[in-house]
Amino acid sequence: MKRFLNRLLVTEPEPETTERIDEERVSDSVEWRDISIETNGPTGWASDPDPEEREPSQTETPFGTLDVDYLMKTVLDGVAVPTLVVDCSGEIVSINSAACERFGTTEADAIGTTPAAVHGGQRLLGQVLLTGEEITDRRDTVIVDGTGRTIRRTINLLKNERGEIVGAVETIQAWPTATDTEQTVS
């Protein structure tokens, strides 16, 4: 973030002017503005071509046509904890690789099922979608590879621009054990 706040860009009139005259008496005047005080302006380098003037290459995809499923999968795989996204009917529409690894499943097997079918925990999502009351750090026990594991579940609602519930995101983390607590205190 500091990189962006400290970067200066070529801009409109009225900013600071830096002028250097070389040996041939040619002026090298450049106008700069500090974007740390004005964040809604254009970004980029003076040498970058104007995006409106260049033809999109065949490898570029305009942002408006990005595959939403691919974008969601990419974002979820950046989350280190097991994470599931469900639609308004409670069926999984996206799952990250951490959740697949933790619960011994594949994305193909998980899509279209419920989170409880994937991790074996309590069926909480239907309640959250129905009542609109989110759950934070709820303790639950799941069976993974025949072993009971205590986890904490957080379920946050997803709403559209009109405020209607369209789904939810569930994140799952290991519940801290006494050993974890002792190590943290030490």
Q: Give tens-digit pLDDT for 91-146.
A: 999 999 999 998 899 999 999 999 989 988 888 988 999 999 999 999 988 877 77
Q: Which pLDDT belongs to residue 174?
A: 83
- In this prediction the pTM is 0.58
Phi, psi of 154 (to 5 degrees): -125, 130
Q: Is residue 88 situated within a structural domain? A: yes
CATH of the domain at 124: 3.30.450.20
The burial of 148, by beta-carbon neighbours within 10 Å (0-12 exposed, 13-18 middle, 19 or more buried), is given as exposed
Lowest-confidence segment of 2-6, 144-148, 155-159, 173-177 by average pLDDT? 2-6
Q: Is residue 182 situated within a structural domain? A: no
User: Where among 11, 26, 58 does a domain terminate?
Assistant: 58
Residue pair 86/167 in contact (Cβ under 8 Å)? The answer is: yes
Domain residues for 7? 1-58
170 and 109 within one domain: yes
d(CA 169, CA 75): 13
168 and 113 within one domain: yes
Which DSSP category does 65 fall into? Answer: G
Give how many domains the chain has, as a whole number.
2
Can you give the C-alpha Rg of the chain in angstroms?
25
Q: Is residue 181 situated within a structural domain? A: no
d(CA 156, CA 79): 15
Ordered strands of the 8-10 beta sheet? 8-10, 30-34, 16-18
